[in-house]
Chain A
């Protein structure tokens, strides 16, 4: 244990094609670790390596079969006969806005991302989502300004960009989801009163005495206090 490069028995190899060239790689590897095993030194197309950041958008097809598949290279195990192409960057169409100025009304989404109304309902975005999200549905929610539903449906998006690469209407889906989530959280969800109250009380100095008291306490007293403190059930 305790080793990143353990010697495991390699029972199986898979033949995979990176950018069209064949490599024999241990079959238990992911596309990302297999590329490294084959000799690729990754700079682009590799980020968190655990499925959160969307840096490693990947497209593949199994030799002799028609369907094209979409995945994150760090999350997808290799398969025999896999033809792999990576999509390390896609130029999303970014818009800027001032969250204090915009409102969650009907106009906002329409003004910032008008291209969503060009959606032809081909469902390519949903079919290509590396996280299995119902992307077309969240764009539909955005069109009808149901921001809460758009926010919830798009929540797991890691902005890998595959949907936008496939979209015939040139929509930057992940940015639409992000705007809906920010609007929904900021304007359509009640504010947390207890958080605001506590922030104000701290600013007003109501906790100064207590915090200074514990900071000045001898360490043995702090230890005693810690070891005997009650833990909320």
Chain B
């Protein structure tokens, strides 16, 4: 529950509600947005970034936490492995048990491949499960793939790779149709047509949802389908390095049982890396909406075999992370709360930004409000601004909250805050890595044969800022595509002699660059032991 001082501040929010209800804040023009981002978005800070000293992206900027992992030693440096009798020998090895890995497994299996999944924690311990708001697809009559393309390209600051974005928008409706056929419970009208919502940076109401559990509902259905297809799932098993063959193709991975430390060799004709994001690296010290295992492992694995990073310096901070209560610090409050009418309001009761600007713009505006303008509300963990949820009730009635965002309603009720009656305190939180590994339209890396990537680990689809609902779509579209493509490539692949020479070579490159430390990567899990870490 709120302190008495916070309750006093809420009176100011209530006092301006009627006026804000009638006069929505205006949208910024292109120049105003650029100026705001340049001054306040964390991507534009001088501190918190370092320079990559080895590999294809040598000389480029990246968050210091990522640079440290790229410059760290292999976890298997100096260890000799017996490749003659691998524990697993498959056509397609999928690393990662989220939405992309599950989508890939279904399609690879249906294409006739012998496929397995290795995942660091449990199947479904993934950001996909945590997606709340929805999934985009241009399936309404007043909408089109090219309109979806335009919105995403503008939102991504025109940096999206056109061929990847084309696949995303053109395959979008089919992805929804596929999920519907698998038995995903989308929000629908009585005639079966989809309920679609507006969202930040969207010019059409294109967001499909399953209440505010969209990711959970989609992911659990996908995983259930993976189990029904009898795809082996090896859980609590992390990938430490990819294995190559003597012809330079990717040919498996060195895995490790997370509970016993045992090394396990998986030989595979093709590998799909679907390891997700990096929120648990806490760039710039931000809290995160991400799951426990989001530690950029896939970026490290792929970079060490010679793949390239793209836009590794651009991160999405979700505008509405929880600033209070402390037990929920950094947790996601879906953008859908703004889609259905809530505004962001400062300590003086002003709506200081249009609620449906793109995420980078809204986050920058909140950071400015709490920092330079000193119009934030002080909390035990820092500061925040109000998200005026009772405005939704004023616009559409309490049932809108109960039906559309029941998860958020419950999350705050658990701490004695009824969002139908009281606004909530928000501050940006590390939500998504916009960048990742650079892939071709076929889903594979340009540099390394038989290495496929899908999901958040990929860079380029979303340019330098992703729109809401485009990641759930990307996970399904590119996961499915990678599964089909990897199964197809496996048909004509003959594996040569297995080798880890690339690991030695990377070690030599580090040495040549004068880098000498005792750190190891991939990180696998963050270290919160004996720390006062929140959420």
* A residues neighboring B (CB under 8 Å): 1-6, 8, 26, 28-30, 33, 36-44, 46-53, 55, 74-75, 77, 94, 96-99, 131-132, 151, 155-156, 158-159, 178, 181-186, 189-196, 198-199, 202-203, 207, 210-211, 213-215, 219, 222-223, 225-227, 229-232
Interface of A is mostly: loop
In the assembly, what is the distance between CA of A155 and CA of B137, in Å? 23
Size category of the binding interface on chain B: 35 or more
Q: Contacting B220 at CB < 8 Å: which of A178, A184, A196?
A: A178
Which 10 A-B pairs give the minimum distances between C-beta atoms?
A190-B192, A182-B183, A1-B382, A226-B154, A186-B183, A3-B285, A47-B125, A198-B173, A48-B291, A198-B139
Mask, B340-381, CB within 8 Å of A = 1, is 000000000000000000000000000000110000000011
Query: Smallest CB–CB gap between B204 and chain A, Å?
Result: 5
B130 touches A194 (CB 8 A): no
Pairs across A and B, CB under 8 Å, 14 listed: A36-B530, A48-B291, A77-B327, A156-B406, A186-B180, A189-B192, A193-B191, A194-B141, A203-B174, A211-B170, A214-B150, A226-B150, A227-B30, A232-B198
Q: Contacting A50 at CB < 8 Å: which of B29, B151, B153, B289?
A: B289
A48 touches B130 (CB 8 A): yes
Please, which residue of chain A has its CB at the minimum distance from the CB of B132? A52
A99-B182, A225-B150 as given contacts; A48 in contact with B292, CB under 8 Å: yes
| A-side contacts of B76, CB under 8 Å | none
A4-B282, A184-B185, A185-B184 as given contacts; A207 in contact with B146, CB under 8 Å: yes
A5-B533, A52-B216, A192-B139 as given contacts; A202 in contact with B185, CB under 8 Å: no
Tell whether B221 is near chain A: CB-to-CB under 8 Å: yes
Query: Smallest CB–CB gap between B523 and chain A, Å?
Result: 13
| B-side contacts of A38, CB under 8 Å | 530
Q: Contacting B125 at CB < 8 Å: which of A5, A55, A98, A202?
A: A55
In the assembly, what is the distance between CA of A46 and CA of B122, in Å? 9
A1 touches B370 (CB 8 A): yes
Query: Smallest CB–CB gap between B346 and chain A, Å?
Result: 15
Q: Which of B140-175 contact A (CB under 8 A)?
A: 140-142, 144-147, 149-151, 153-154, 158, 162, 166, 169-170, 173-174
Tell whether B203 is near chain A: CB-to-CB under 8 Å: yes
A183 touches B125 (CB 8 A): no
A4-B285, A211-B169 as given contacts; A195 in contact with B176, CB under 8 Å: yes
Q: Contacting B193 at CB < 8 Å: which of A6, A49, A192, A227?
A: A192
